[in-house]
Structure 1
Amino acid sequence: MIFNGGSERPTGTTRVGPARSRARLLAAVLVCVLAVLAMAGCTSGATDKGGDGGADGGPGADKDASPSASPSATADREQAVTAVPKDPATVVAGTTAAQLALGASRSLYQRSPAAVLVADGDQGSLTKATATAERLGVPLLVTPAAGGTAEAAKAAGDAVRAELDRLKVRTVVPVGTAKAWARKNAPDASGGDVAGIEPPTPLKDLVVLALDRPAGRAATATARATGARVVRTSSADPRADGDAVTALAKDDASRVLALGSDFGPADRLRARVDVAATGVQLPGGGQVVFPGRRMVALYGHPGSSALGSLGQQPLDEAIARAKRVAADYQPLSKEKVVPAFEIITTVSSSSAGGDGNYSNETSVDTLRPWVEAAHREGLYVVLDLQPGYTDFLTQAKRYASLLKLPNVGLALDPEWRLEPPQRPMSVIGSVGAAEVNRTAEWLADFTRKNHLPQKLLMLHQFRLDMISDRSAVHTDYDDIQVLIHADGFGTPGEKFETWNTLHRNAPADVRWGWKNFYRADSPTFTPRQTMEVSPTPVFVSYQ
């Protein structure tokens, strides 16, 4: 119901059909007052973190959806009939306020005795309109904006009229400038007022995702009016919003409706929600590696000072050092700076070893204390592979138990990918795009099947020939983020020459990393100098 001041008679409705008798009207007013008093002692059952939801907003309601409880059997009480979409995930198509509002109504309502109307662009009336729709438990539809073309206004108006007809609406409640449209286009059927309308039984089995955008406000109000749990998100990928992840972990998200085409295909949305529902977040928050964070890492091997800064001190001291190095970047970065370890997991060797592959594979038991301590302390970990004669995929699978941890990614170092009779240090190795893709596809599938946050896949490179057919490297994964890490050392001029060369014809959708050398650079870049590199690297390691 809608009241002025919360206790007066309902206003602003457009009725169609003959007037009721005076006795009927007085009875309706009495019911209205009683409903208001009852509502004053209730709170909404919807979880609201905010956001747009979605389902395929077809021309009518979902015929296979499960309707809510039937309207009250008493003559003076009416409810809308709502429904949970049958699919595990549905996406309401559209981007405009009118499209999203129609899609939400079509997806969630089978019938409604009333509907609230607000004109497109009438922001001043939107707050009142949303509150009215939520109070009554009826859809909020968006009528054509004043001043638009006649053709566009007709098409938009026809869509609203068709939805009012489908819902069998008898009373419309126009707010603001929508009143002018309603006077000409209100339903032509026997109707009443809103005094006898009560909200439908809440759709507790549904989570609605809604983007924090003005265009989604009307659709979001429609979702709330059904009693569904609304989760707002700042991103169309709910994994990218830490608050949305937390909200989804608290709710039963077995049925999800997302408001807007930006949420993408329903199957992809379902997979993303399944990850978000675990509630597990990456260091720095959320479940997507980039954007939203920058990583600064110590590189090396536990217990070996010769292989980099990571092994120059015991575990606890290495964690403290990584945090100090990362902290130097925070004043220079808009994004959260996360400390990290890049651990050389398989170490290139001058001797063939027992398996003849010129690569020493560190045991999982040796690495686990480092990885688990990093996890507890909020560090990300990258497992770096130097495979010798073994292929990257074979070595990656050895460490699957560590990769099951949410804060662990993978790095491929082609410098040490060799073929017989090549030997480490005598030649710079290389890898083909096909092997990179096989490894990436395995990691993406592994991440998806285990409902893990997105993982980082780093490709080390300082010469273009280290990755043959680099343009064929696949980067369009949803479960992993591919990053090219520039390993050039020397003078600033030499490092920038390497950096610029690697950017030529680089694959699309890659992120970029930068390595600073404490000894091999002349001089070592300061954090400020590193942040002035363009594009600004999102991963910085220290060797």
Structure 2
Amino acid sequence: MTGRVIWTSIVCVAVGLAVSASATGVGASGVGASGIGAYTSPSPGVDVLAGDVPESVQLSRELYARSDEAILVGPDALDDAARRAAAARVAQDKHVPVLAVTPQTAPSVAGELRRLGVDTEVRLGRVDGVPAPRTSADLDDLRGNAPRSGTAPVVMLTRDAPADAIMTARSAARVVEVPVPDPRATAESVATIEAAASEPTAVRAVGPGFGTAAEFARRVEQARDTPELPGGGQVVFPGRRMVALYGSPDAPALGPLGRQGIAASIDRVRRLAAEYQRVSAEPVVPAFEIIASVASAEPGPGSTYTNMIDPETLRPWVEAAGRAGVYVTLDLQPGRMDFLTQARRYADLLAQPHVGLALDPEWRLTPHQVHLTQIGSVGAEEVNRTSDWLAGFVRDRRLPQKLFVLHQFDAGMLDDRPAIVTDRDELQVVLHADGHGTPDVKMETWRRLVTDLPAGMWMGWKNFYTEDKPTFSPAATLAVRPSPWFVSYQ
């Protein structure tokens, strides 16, 4: 899909990738000796800036037409929290760029100082490789540039972007942090794009993390007109964790979700999520994992060994969860049917932005298998056909990313696991570890499953109330490495 150009006042900076915001409106007059306008006014539009130039230098080029003053920071000062905080405060208050100087960045920084016409420098720490300034100053002696007139650009940056890039962004723009280089990542980033859509100013991303200009433009377009997920934003992880009750409505034997009604289940999972929030740095979103098709011990019609619950029976649960900010994953136990056939049956529910899909290969039988006699399995080809359909469904319906969960506790359950496609932009694939028993047994299962984990798979974990001895606490669950992002309770 080709994204339309969005006129907005946004500049994006990636993790370690800086985003350069372009000022709109008339440049403000500098307070320095020259009195020349300080800020640039680049043309509107969406683009990605990439290359070998340091991120802070790219930002300085985009944000400043000139500046009589600059702050240069040596590596030792960047490592000093107090000096780093002081530089950030002054840069934001006085509106001057901050440039880190290392042997690698010194040539680019020297060139940028010449372009800016810098006369006065503050040097923090050891700064080598850049010609001595005409005038040296302390931080508090800087006169700075006047604030930008009109609406300031917005710089979207990832949380581990270089410190000097963050400081330079904050010196001349409003800043929104995102956990990944994606304008859809958080409620704040989405709201910023929506609010700025009518303002004819520039959108810039810096660095390969944002993809090509076309890819970035498509994501900006999606951010503007795609529904948000529970907890905000349109990208599932890493901006949130999920904690789910597992089971099926009115079926207590299948899990805790079926042991109370809708309202009580929502209240129960909210309380469970709150327990995890106390030990999670990320927001924790409550979730349901609803078994939509239930494995059967009897052949049933067509000898499929599965009972598909009518979507209309599940709809009240799904819709109530959506209103309550609870994510829903529909879990399939297809017996002798295939996953894609069953997934299509639930398309109307999957069309809701807060609903994802889970495949449980334990209950996927060959034509000659029966449940509880053999452990089922599924091949990569069937998994990929299902995910390809779901990804296309997300694109066609203009939906946010969906969870695509693959349950596993035995190596044979996912045949040819390395061949499973994990890089569809519309989905985030979770490998869900279903091992139970003592902590040692659970951790042995976990270690087997994470060995040679395909790139792009996030990890999920299941806690059992009765089969685990004991059930892991929230703190113990999140202490598992790699950390699970989707936790369910059975």
The answer, yes or no, to whether TM exceeds 0.5 is: yes
Cα separation, partners in 2 of 1:278 and 1:215, compared to 1, 3 Å:
farther
Whether the aligned pair in 1 keeps the contact of 2:48 and 2:207 (CA below 8 Å) is no
Matches within 5 A, 1:58-137: 84-85=42-43, 87-93=45-51, 96=54, 98-101=56-59, 103-104=61-62, 114-121=66-73
Indicate the residue corresponding to 2:141 in structure 1: none
Please report how far the alpha carbon of residue 487 of structure 1 lies from its aligned counterpart in structure 2 after TM superposition.
1.8
Please report how far the alpha carbon of residue 486 of structure 1 lies from its aligned counterpart in structure 2 after TM superposition.
1.8
Please report how far the alpha carbon of residue 125 of structure 1 lies from its aligned counterpart in structure 2 after TM superposition.
7.0
User: Do structure 1's residue 307 and structure 2's residue 251 form an aligned pair?
Assistant: no
Instruction: Tell me which of 101, 104, 110 is aligned to 1:157.
Output: 110
Indicate the residue corresponding to 1:295 in structure 2: 242
User: Do structure 1's residue 247 and structure 2's residue 192 form an aligned pair?
Assistant: yes
User: Do structure 1's residue 386 and structure 2's residue 338 form an aligned pair?
Assistant: no
User: Do structure 1's residue 233 and structure 2's residue 177 form an aligned pair?
Assistant: yes
Measured on the aligned residues, the alpha-carbon RMSD in Å equals 4.4
Show CA shifts across 1:30-64 (max 9, x none): xxxxxxxxxxxxxxxx979x96489x99xxxxxxx
Please report how far the alpha carbon of residue 418 of structure 1 lies from its aligned counterpart in structure 2 after TM superposition.
1.8
Indicate the residue corresponding to 2:32 in structure 1: none
Indicate the residue corresponding to 1:316 in structure 2: 263
Cα separation, partners in 2 of 1:67 and 1:176, compared to 1, 3 Å:
closer
Indicate the residue corresponding to 2:204 in structure 1: 257
SS at structure 2 position matched to 1:277: helix
Which amino acid letter does the alignment assign opposite residue 464 of structure 1? A
Which amino acid letter does the alignment assign opposite residue 263 of structure 2? D
Indicate the residue corresponding to 2:400 in structure 1: 453
Indicate the residue corresponding to 2:169 in structure 1: 220
Please report how far the alpha carbon of residue 347 of structure 1 lies from its aligned counterpart in structure 2 after TM superposition.
1.8
- Alpha-carbon distance between aligned partners in 1 of 2:295 and 2:216, rounded to the nearest angstrom: 41
Cα separation, partners in 2 of 1:231 and 1:158, compared to 1, 3 Å:
closer
- Alpha-carbon distance between aligned partners in 1 of 2:245 and 2:465, rounded to the nearest angstrom: 11
Cα separation, partners in 2 of 1:86 and 1:446, compared to 1, 3 Å:
farther
Indicate the residue corresponding to 1:5 in structure 2: none
Deviates more, 1:407-416 or 1:483-492: 483-492
Cα separation, partners in 2 of 1:363 and 1:354, compared to 1, 3 Å:
same
- Alpha-carbon distance between aligned partners in 1 of 2:480 and 2:155, rounded to the nearest angstrom: 41
Please report how far the alpha carbon of residue 133 of structure 1 lies from its aligned counterpart in structure 2 after TM superposition.
6.0
- Alpha-carbon distance between aligned partners in 1 of 2:297 and 2:176, rounded to the nearest angstrom: 55
Whether the aligned pair in 2 keeps the contact of 1:53 and 1:92 (CA below 8 Å) is no
Which amino acid letter does the alignment assign opposite residue 182 of structure 2? D
Show CA shifts across 1:194-232 (max 9, x none): xxx99999689x7653456532257537864xxxxx442
Please report how far the alpha carbon of residue 359 of structure 1 lies from its aligned counterpart in structure 2 after TM superposition.
2.6
Whether the aligned pair in 1 keeps the contact of 2:54 and 2:108 (CA below 8 Å) is no
Indicate the residue corresponding to 2:388 in structure 1: 441
- Alpha-carbon distance between aligned partners in 2 of 1:175 and 1:525, rounded to the nearest angstrom: 55
Cα separation, partners in 2 of 1:119 and 1:438, compared to 1, 3 Å:
same
Cα separation, partners in 2 of 1:97 and 1:323, compared to 1, 3 Å:
closer
SS at structure 2 position matched to 1:238: coil
- Alpha-carbon distance between aligned partners in 2 of 1:70 and 1:337, rounded to the nearest angstrom: 42
Cα separation, partners in 2 of 1:222 and 1:357, compared to 1, 3 Å:
same
Whether the aligned pair in 2 keeps the contact of 1:287 and 1:453 (CA below 8 Å) is yes
Which amino acid letter does the alignment assign opposite residue 58 of structure 2? L
SS at structure 1 position matched to 2:184: helix
Deviates more, 1:500-509 or 1:254-263: 254-263
Whether the aligned pair in 1 keeps the contact of 2:44 and 2:203 (CA below 8 Å) is no
Which amino acid letter does the alignment assign opposite residue 465 of structure 1? G
Show CA shifts across 1:429-485 (max 9, x none): 111112212222333343344443332111111110011111222223433221111
* TM-score relative to the length of structure 2: 0.75
Unaligned runs of 5+ in 1: 1-45, 58-64, 72-76, 135-139, 165-170, 185-196, 225-229
SS at structure 2 position matched to 1:489: coil
Which amino acid letter does the alignment assign opposite residue 99 of structure 1? V
SS at structure 2 position matched to 1:120: strand
Unaligned runs of 5+ in 2: 1-7, 29-34, 75-83, 136-144
Which amino acid letter does the alignment assign opposite residue 312 of structure 2? D
Indicate the residue corresponding to 2:5 in structure 1: none
User: Do structure 1's residue 420 and structure 2's residue 367 form an aligned pair?
Assistant: yes
User: Do structure 1's residue 508 and structure 2's residue 455 form an aligned pair?
Assistant: yes
Show CA shifts across 1:90-130 (max 9, x none): 3354573553235526xxx8xx6x54452532876776666
SS at structure 1 position matched to 2:342: helix
Whether the aligned pair in 2 keeps the contact of 1:219 and 1:259 (CA below 8 Å) is no
Cα separation, partners in 2 of 1:158 and 1:482, compared to 1, 3 Å:
same
The number of residues matched between the two structures is 448
Cα separation, partners in 2 of 1:87 and 1:429, compared to 1, 3 Å:
same
Cα separation, partners in 2 of 1:389 and 1:78, compared to 1, 3 Å:
same
Indicate the residue corresponding to 2:139 in structure 1: none
- Bigger radius of gyration: 1
Cα separation, partners in 2 of 1:126 and 1:482, compared to 1, 3 Å:
closer
Which amino acid letter does the alignment assign opposite residue 183 of structure 2? P
Which amino acid letter does the alignment assign opposite residue 110 of structure 2? G
Kindly indicate whether structure 1 or structure 2 has the higher relative contact order, using CA contacts under 8 Å at least 6 residues apart.
2
Please report how far the alpha carbon of residue 303 of structure 1 lies from its aligned counterpart in structure 2 after TM superposition.
1.8
Indicate the residue corresponding to 2:77 in structure 1: none
- Alpha-carbon distance between aligned partners in 2 of 1:503 and 1:436, rounded to the nearest angstrom: 19
Show CA shifts across 1:357-396 (max 9, x none): 3332222222111011111112111100112233222322
- Alpha-carbon distance between aligned partners in 2 of 1:526 and 1:141, rounded to the nearest angstrom: 45
Whether the aligned pair in 2 keeps the contact of 1:141 and 1:160 (CA below 8 Å) is no
Which amino acid letter does the alignment assign opposite residue 379 of structure 2? G
Whether the aligned pair in 1 keeps the contact of 2:228 and 2:353 (CA below 8 Å) is yes
User: Do structure 1's residue 348 and structure 2's residue 295 form an aligned pair?
Assistant: yes
Please report how far the alpha carbon of residue 321 of structure 1 lies from its aligned counterpart in structure 2 after TM superposition.
2.3
Show CA shifts across 1:399-450 (max 9, x none): 2222222221110011121221323333221111122122223333433444
Please report how far the alpha carbon of residue 530 of structure 1 lies from its aligned counterpart in structure 2 after TM superposition.
3.8
Indicate the residue corresponding to 2:410 in structure 1: 463
Cα separation, partners in 2 of 1:222 and 1:495, compared to 1, 3 Å:
closer
Please report how far the alpha carbon of residue 289 of structure 1 lies from its aligned counterpart in structure 2 after TM superposition.
2.4
Which amino acid letter does the alignment assign opposite residue 318 of structure 1? S
Matches within 5 A, 1:193-204: none
